[in-house]
Amino acid sequence: MKMWEGRFSQQSDRLMELFNNSLPVDQALIEEDVLQNKAWSKALAKAKIVQPAESDAICIALDELLADYAQGRLAFSAEDEDIHMALERLVTQKAGVAGAKLHTGRSRNDQVATVFRMYVKKALKNITGLVSMLQSTLVGRADNEQDIFVPGYTHLQQAQPVVLAHYWLSLFWALEREKSRLDHAASTADSMPLGAGALAGSGFAVDREFLARELGFGSITDNSMDAVAARDFVLEALFAITSLAIVLSRYAEDLIIWSSGEFGFIELADAWSTGSSMMPQKKNPDSLELIRGKCGRFAGNLTRMATTLKGLGLTYYKDLQEDKEPLLDSVAQIVLVLNVFAQVVATLTVKQRTILHKMDPFLYATDIADYLVARNVPFREAHRIVGKIVAFCIENRRELSSLSTAEFARFSSAFAEDVGTLFTLSNAVAHRDLHGGTGPESIARQLRKAKKLLD
Amino acid sequence: MKMWEGRFSQQSDRLMELFNNSLPVDQALIEEDVLQNKAWSKALAKAKIVQPAESDAICIALDELLADYAQGRLAFSAEDEDIHMALERLVTQKAGVAGAKLHTGRSRNDQVATVFRMYVKKALKNITGLVSMLQSTLVGRADNEQDIFVPGYTHLQQAQPVVLAHYWLSLFWALEREKSRLDHAASTADSMPLGAGALAGSGFAVDREFLARELGFGSITDNSMDAVAARDFVLEALFAITSLAIVLSRYAEDLIIWSSGEFGFIELADAWSTGSSMMPQKKNPDSLELIRGKCGRFAGNLTRMATTLKGLGLTYYKDLQEDKEPLLDSVAQIVLVLNVFAQVVATLTVKQRTILHKMDPFLYATDIADYLVARNVPFREAHRIVGKIVAFCIENRRELSSLSTAEFARFSSAFAEDVGTLFTLSNAVAHRDLHGGTGPESIARQLRKAKKLLD
Amino acid sequence: MKMWEGRFSQQSDRLMELFNNSLPVDQALIEEDVLQNKAWSKALAKAKIVQPAESDAICIALDELLADYAQGRLAFSAEDEDIHMALERLVTQKAGVAGAKLHTGRSRNDQVATVFRMYVKKALKNITGLVSMLQSTLVGRADNEQDIFVPGYTHLQQAQPVVLAHYWLSLFWALEREKSRLDHAASTADSMPLGAGALAGSGFAVDREFLARELGFGSITDNSMDAVAARDFVLEALFAITSLAIVLSRYAEDLIIWSSGEFGFIELADAWSTGSSMMPQKKNPDSLELIRGKCGRFAGNLTRMATTLKGLGLTYYKDLQEDKEPLLDSVAQIVLVLNVFAQVVATLTVKQRTILHKMDPFLYATDIADYLVARNVPFREAHRIVGKIVAFCIENRRELSSLSTAEFARFSSAFAEDVGTLFTLSNAVAHRDLHGGTGPESIARQLRKAKKLLD
Amino acid sequence: MKMWEGRFSQQSDRLMELFNNSLPVDQALIEEDVLQNKAWSKALAKAKIVQPAESDAICIALDELLADYAQGRLAFSAEDEDIHMALERLVTQKAGVAGAKLHTGRSRNDQVATVFRMYVKKALKNITGLVSMLQSTLVGRADNEQDIFVPGYTHLQQAQPVVLAHYWLSLFWALEREKSRLDHAASTADSMPLGAGALAGSGFAVDREFLARELGFGSITDNSMDAVAARDFVLEALFAITSLAIVLSRYAEDLIIWSSGEFGFIELADAWSTGSSMMPQKKNPDSLELIRGKCGRFAGNLTRMATTLKGLGLTYYKDLQEDKEPLLDSVAQIVLVLNVFAQVVATLTVKQRTILHKMDPFLYATDIADYLVARNVPFREAHRIVGKIVAFCIENRRELSSLSTAEFARFSSAFAEDVGTLFTLSNAVAHRDLHGGTGPESIARQLRKAKKLLD
């Protein structure tokens, strides 16, 4: 029998029960619902709506049920629409009349919103922790790879040399912003709806501040209609995770390309690669490909929630039951993605020799232009001169560094003997040592700041 | 031990195995993979690559494994990356050397693409059948509700009267187009990749036409690289399902509004409604709300696949492993949605008395304008005149039908005694009897054509 | 002639120029680019790369160009790929060699990222201001409508009575969170990339802190590769706007339904409604429908940017040129939406008489259950009892308030004479006066806090 | 003055007019609207609602207006809400009373739906033509590049050699499916709504079959409510374009990677590349990057329309006004993308020497496994043996082709003298000559079929 079926003359269709049932999904929130039920029973006792002994009985029953669940021994019934109805039923079995009082002054609307926010807060905190772990891995590599040169790319064309540490740190800083977004999403979820009732506020003057303290909320919601209708906290969490996944997909793309035979800059550990069912020689960076491919999943979950919310009136509609599955999926998957990405980065091998071999000699072109500027050639003119030199080199299959001073001088009288000193990677890199650049002091500064942030 | 690990010196990390493993998802394709394996073993025998007896042994083993699976007795191993590797391993356990020959001339790339297309074809056919079932329900209601008047709406403002049959039939015709899209998606999937190998074509001259006949494909793919890289068949299936879900969400919205107390046009059967955990009087159209809300899920799955595919080079990348989950989810959920929607429509009660009571007397305004046009007033002028009459009625709290001929005549000399005959619903409806209109002959014509299409 | 064509032997195809040209879009950033160019020329002077007089000449030229643009007198050329190249060309025309030095030590990569962030910050601040304006409108209505009763809905079924002020305030609080998200997005954009060069850092030691102060940035980016590659600031801005639009779409949906003849709760001002080209009686809430419909646009722009960014390697690719159009569109449209929404709310008429007439007598059901709870009936039992009473009323076409005490007592001995006092709206509302509820003190508290926040 | 303002007492707000106005967008449909108006006036004449002379006057006026528009001389007014109202107003200016009769029996609802479907049909046909043009380019290259070997990739790891013709043809076949989807979308739009009126059917018995013939529609809609509410034709067109764009983004990704210095397989023509504002040596494949990046735009437009349609009741709501902008944008941009892509492919240079140089000797690994299979080694065993050989080669820095028969024999006794014949590209490719493979006869067959399809 349904808990609400007093006014109904006909039973639910079995298919309707299946369609309506969210238990397979929302039992993931059992821990949060137990905490919430316990706090609520205490608040009811505080408000003299139940006896202290009744509240105690409820709490004991709940602890037992959670323990049962943890051991796979909780027996759900076909009538349990969701974890909340299931727990109320089971508490009532154990605690009798006390259990029948548990739902006093509360609606599933405020209850579900509260429990789900608790879950979102916990999940986001966990994800933020994993991002920090990945950042540590990056800092570790950067620390060791301050002297490894790699081409910096734009348009997948070699542009200017950088040190590999600079590349790893670029992700570090991007992740700082992702953490800030995750934190903001968590703060959005950190206001407690409990006490909002179905939509108009509870009919009993429970102590909401007490409840918030018990449940670890930073504040309580100010309006009961907003409290039960709002799902922006889900949307924002889904967005923060998507944004994070997009950044990771971008670095995964780079590393997949760097793993190709043609680049050959890095090699993934065997433990994070896979082979082919047909081609015996293959070693594939599947881990990174999955990370990149799963980006679609996160974006899809975001679109899903946005579409469901669009044009949905107030306050609660059953459409909102569709809020949990995308969030649970995005959380579970980003946890995997972060762990795998950190391991892949930690265990890959950098092939400095190959990288040096593949450096394009034209990488110094900007430095030549800058050299001319320092000798008073306006930049736009300098750019044009170096363009001509590059064209000359391509046509004559020459390398920049092989040109004599006299040859340089044919393009501009500003060139002098010292132009030859430009053609070393360490000079090129050292040259770009302002705040944020790839020069050694800038790298050291980044590392110091990064380590401090991680502490 | 992995089937491909010959060249690897280090084992996969356990987390990598978990991350990479698609067995929990792709075992849904076991039936198709068994069929494909059996057909492949026959083709290998036909090409003299295996002995007929070996092919037989493989087929027997596969049938046993499928039977085991159906009974929940198939023992997967931690090393089984996917259903395909699992079956090969298990066949080899049963059939020995024959099993070890099964993967000859084939790659998981062409195998997975083939098996997944088979699944998509089957699923889309099933969905199309359910759409037809829903259409039958609509025709049934339309047949019985040719004389029930309801307001037709634009902007949720009553616009012109129609018969309820016309409304139900509007969905019938929309669903015809959805079926056409589902069919087209199925035809996209109806070309067999098997024989494409990893990407360059099988190294053995297997008879692909024979395979296609065995597996029920209408054609074979023309290019092996396209065959293993393409996932447009997944994307199109996801789109066709999304488009269908969007149409259903629109009608669900209408029916939810019609179920409100303020409208009160229909009442859902108790079996397809639910109550409130807190408010004893509530009876909520949860079934329709879930149908509307789940629309987000379908759109999300489409975005998910599109995002994963964007910018993914050829031919196969592990990113593509993310193709099955959204499709399986969309298929399973649209099946539920179609069944529930049909039941809700079949069992709802129409409250004609309430509807008539709520009909806006201004519904006849267009008919008055048309009346003037028939008396040679240019339409734009007629529209303006009726606008003035409406304004007059609102200001003076009068109904259109209460105006005397003299009063009408104050607005235009074209009004005559017979203006009074306009104010009946049956006249208003009969008036619009051209092809596609809400008039009785148009309804009869629609019903005839609809029934013929369903046969 | 292109500024970069030194090394090219063949000219761009005309179609390529058209395809590549972003000037029609990015000239919207001209004001920001002028500021950035001026600050950059000053920084170059500070670093002794240009003469103070050259910097002055550049600044004067830029001011003139901006003034020309404002008057529609700026002559772009077919070779101007974007606003940045156009300005450099035009400055050079005016200021000669000084202009040719302007691009020293800078790349379009860091330049565009800087200018776009400036634009995003300005736009988000403007939007936040408009949200506050809408909030003021809501507070104004709430102030005046503390005594207007409306049904609160769940599932579009009347659930419990609230005061209209509570409804308006629910949007106020939702908007507080939207403002917080807009602020966070602005803070993401508030770090200056200028000085990052193409990707490795400028080759000249310009004073980035000075530049940040000049341009109003709160900080400078820490890593040049991240600085030019990152577009999370665009994505986050698009998300914040989408989230805001979704909330507005939900309230628009409510108000559209409330505008229907069947509800008749509100009437939009003529100034914010439109008529029909065909049906003279129609008055349609087009303003609200557009607000709801445009929600798709914002969600689409978000998906667009997410899809473009997915899997895009570092650092800059031309794919990123697609970042501006969705942002400019979302900004322009949300500005319209917010203005219109505020006006619609400010000018609509509430029809209290109609609302009262349509209140469902069962709205008191929860209060009866709460009454029983106060008389020591366990809530779950009370819920069931009231369910039975509701079923009895429906069957016998009775209203709750019409039942005698004796009739109530047939359902539970806990009912006493005072049950009759439950059936007034003001009692029902007063009953829910805890923090966040619809009771009078809670409303007063909300209003005080809301007004304080707006100050 | 608005054409519908008869019943209104207050004028539209100026902001409302701006917000509501779709003229800047929908004037793109002027040609279709003129055709539709002319056909409608003839149908009115046929039904004796207007005089033949009136119909003629209307048609003449419309032709004049279209000519004026083409010359930029059409004067719109601030009150023209859309192109349809504008044309009616202007026709009435020119043709007097005849113009005032033009809107008889018609609503903007059926009018807009009709005109938009005409536009969609035309646009999709145009796009299909451009796809064929791109296919011709591909066939042209394939014809000439049947003997150019390139590595086929999975996971961006070299897998098996193919001929370049096979790669170009893979896109040819993918585009065949895209054309089929575009055609299906056009067929969805090919049913005429005109005559549906506002929603209930026209009040005048116009000859819809005549109208359909005049306007080139294949059929007429069967239900007036569906006719004005449906926008699946827009959604399907947006999807078909998105699907096409995704395929192009995948090939663009490949070609961008092939353009990198590290791959160096191709070089884009200067005409389809661009340089850098800062780095003189750069030559960037911007054309392909834009094609890939714009994929987000198409996906965004699809999400946009899906979101707008979700949960939108029947029949017409102003939300639907948001249908044109995404379609017009997707059409205009895919036309650019297709033209550019075809040009890029037609003009790029293939660097066969570099490609051969970068071929991985392990590309023959599958062939060795197949060799063993032909000598009766079960495939799974053969795969494992070759895996060991590969590991041996890597460890000892040997190439497969350098192993002596004796060395091979250490891994399996099945190896014989002829193993050495495996190591030529032409053998490896010839080996895979079944239908769809990369072998010479398969390529010839593909080319014959492709050319036939293009005729």
**pLDDT tens profile A304-348:** 999 999 999 999 999 999 999 999 999 999 999 999 999 999 999
Q: Do B303 and D307 touch (CB under 8 A)?
A: no
Token digits for A34? 């137990």
Give the rounded percent of residues in chain A with a pLDDT score beyond 70: 98
Give the rounded percent of residues in chain A with a pLDDT score beyond 90: 90
Point out the catalytic residue in the list A77, A180, A219, A276: A276
Which residues from chain B sit within 8 angstroms of residue A273, using beta carbons? 8
Closest partner residue to D300 (CB to CB) among C12, C293, C326 is C326
Closest partner residue to D250 (CB to CB) among B88, B313, B436 is B313
Query: What is the DSSP annotation of C287-342?
Result: HHHHHHHTHHHHHHHHHHHHHHHTT--SS--GGGGGGHHHHHHHHHHHHHHHHHHH
Residue B160 reports pLDDT greater than 90: yes
pLDDT band at A135 (very low <50, low <70, confident <90, very high): very high
Q: A349 and chain B: CB distance < 8 Å anywhere?
A: no
Which residues from chain C sit within 8 angstroms of residue D107, using beta carbons? 276-279
d(CA D339, CA D362): 38
Would you tell me how many other CB atoms lie within 10 Å of the CB of residue C445?
16
Which residues from chain B sit within 8 angstroms of residue C428, using beta carbons? none
**SS3 label, residue B297:** helix
**Tens digit of pLDDT for each residue in B13-65?**
899 999 999 999 999 999 999 999 999 999 999 999 999 999 999 999 999 99
Predicted local confidence at residue D5, as pLDDT: 64
Parallel, antiparallel, or unpaired for β C191-192 and C219-220?
parallel
Q: B96 and chain D: CB distance < 8 Å anywhere?
A: no
pLDDT band at B200 (very low <50, low <70, confident <90, very high): very high
| Residue numbers of B annotated as active site | 155, 276
Which residues from chain A sit within 8 angstroms of residue C8, using beta carbons? 387, 391
Give residues 55 to 94 of B whose Cβ lies within 8 Å of D: 88, 92
Give residues 100 to 129 of B whose Cβ lies within 8 Å of A: 103, 106-109
Of the residues C2, C16, C254, C330, the best mutation for testing chain D's interface (the one with the most D CB atoms within 10 Å of its CB) is: C16
d(CA B106, CA B200): 11
Tokens 């086929």 locate to: D152
**SS3 label, residue B3:** coil
Which residues from chain D sit within 8 angstroms of residue A318, using beta carbons? none
Peptide bond into D303 cis (omega under 30): no
**SS3 label, residue A386:** helix
Q: C406 and chain B: CB distance < 8 Å anywhere?
A: no
Predicted local confidence at residue B28, as pLDDT: 96
Q: A291 and chain C: CB distance < 8 Å anywhere?
A: no
The alpha carbon of residue C281 is apart from the nearest alpha carbon of chain A, in Å, by 26
What's C376's DSSP letter? T
Is the separation of the CB atoms in B126 and B244 below 8 Å?
A: no
Residue C63 reports pLDDT greater than 90: yes
Residue C7 reports pLDDT greater than 80: no
Give residues 230 to 259 of D whose Cβ lies within 8 Å of A: 256-257, 259
Q: Do C281 and B386 touch (CB under 8 A)?
A: yes
Nearest-CA residue of chain B relative to C303? B303
d(CA B283, CA B285): 7
d(CA C36, CA B357): 67
The length of chain A in residues reads 455
pLDDT band at B10 (very low <50, low <70, confident <90, very high): confident
Q: B260 and chain A: CB distance < 8 Å anywhere?
A: no
Give the rounded percent of residues in chain C with a pLDDT score beyond 90: 90
The alpha carbon of residue A198 is apart from the nearest alpha carbon of chain C, in Å, by 8
Predicted local confidence at residue D176, as pLDDT: 98
Predicted local confidence at residue B1, as pLDDT: 52
Q: C336 and chain A: CB distance < 8 Å anywhere?
A: no
Q: Do A432 and C224 touch (CB under 8 A)?
A: yes
Closest partner residue to D201 (CB to CB) among B156, B302, B437 is B437
Share the mean pLDDT of chain C. 95
Q: Do B198 and A279 touch (CB under 8 A)?
A: yes
Which residues from chain A sit within 8 angstroms of residue B290, using beta carbons? 19-20, 318-319, 321-322
What's A319's DSSP letter? G
Residue B8 reports pLDDT greater than 80: no
Q: What is the identity of the amino acid at D175? A: L
Chains that touch B (3 or more CB pairs under 8 A): A, C, D
Q: Do C433 and A206 touch (CB under 8 A)?
A: no
The alpha carbon of residue C105 is apart from the nearest alpha carbon of chain D, in Å, by 8
Q: Do B11 and A286 touch (CB under 8 A)?
A: no
Nearest-CA residue of chain A relative to B250? A311
Helix boundaries (H) for D222-318:
224-229, 232-259, 286-309
Token digits for C348? 């609509």
Q: What is the identity of the amino acid at A151? A: P
Q: Do D314 and B394 touch (CB under 8 A)?
A: no
pLDDT band at A282 (very low <50, low <70, confident <90, very high): confident
- A261's CB contacts (< 8 A; 6+ apart) are D157, D158, D358, D360
The alpha carbon of residue C56 is apart from the nearest alpha carbon of chain B, in Å, by 46
Which residues from chain C sit within 8 angstroms of residue A292, using beta carbons? 310-311
Of the residues A40, A44, A92, A246, the best mutation for testing chain C's interface (the one with the most C CB atoms within 10 Å of its CB) is: A246
Chains that touch C (3 or more CB pairs under 8 A): A, B, D
Give residues 174 to 203 of B whose Cβ lies within 8 Å of A: 197-198
For residue B155, which phi and psi values (nearest 5 degrees)?
60, 25
Closest partner residue to D438 (CB to CB) among B5, B200, B302 is B200
Predicted local confidence at residue B278, as pLDDT: 63
Predicted local confidence at residue C8, as pLDDT: 75
Predicted local confidence at residue D198, as pLDDT: 94
Give residues 26 to 45 of A whose Cβ lies within 8 Å of C: none
Predicted local confidence at residue D274, as pLDDT: 87
The H or E element that residue A159 is part of is strand A157-163
Is the separation of the CB atoms in C295 and D28 below 8 Å?
A: no
Closest partner residue to A257 (CB to CB) among D156, D160, D387 is D156
Of the residues C150, C154, C156, the best mutation for testing chain B's interface (the one with the most B CB atoms within 10 Å of its CB) is: C156
| Residue numbers of D annotated as active site | 155, 276
pTM: predicted TM-score of the whole model, two decimal places: 0.97
Would you tell me how many other CB atoms lie within 10 Å of the CB of residue C190?
18
Overall average pLDDT of the A45-51 stretch: 96
Contacts 24+ apart (CB under 8 A), C345-349: C345/C134, C345/C137, C345/C138, C345/C141, C345/C168, C346/C137, C346/C140, C346/C141, C347/C268, C347/C269, C347/C271, C347/C272, C348/C255, C348/C266, C348/C267, C348/C268, C348/C269, C348/C272, C349/C266, C349/C267, C349/C269
The H or E element that residue A153 is part of is strand A149-154
| Residue numbers of C annotated as active site | 155, 276
Which residues from chain A sit within 8 angstroms of residue D261, using beta carbons? 157-158, 358, 360
Predicted local confidence at residue D283, as pLDDT: 87
d(CA A44, CA A105): 9
Give residues 306 to 335 of C whose Cβ lies within 8 Å of A: 306-307, 309-318
Peptide bond into D315 cis (omega under 30): yes
**Tens digit of pLDDT for each residue in C268-277?**
999 999 887 6
Predicted local confidence at residue B4, as pLDDT: 65
Give per-10-residue mean pLDDT for chain D (455 aa): 67 89 95 98 97 97 97 91 94 95 95 98 98 98 98 96 98 98 98 97 96 98 98 98 98 98 96 79 91 98 98 97 98 98 98 96 91 94 92 91 94 94 93 97 98 96
Which residues from chain B sit within 8 angstroms of residue C160, using beta carbons? 279
Is the separation of the CB atoms in D405 and D416 below 8 Å?
A: yes
Closest CA to C366 of C156, C165, C158: C158
Residue C126 reports pLDDT greater than 70: yes
For residue C351, which phi and psi values (nearest 5 degrees)?
-105, 80
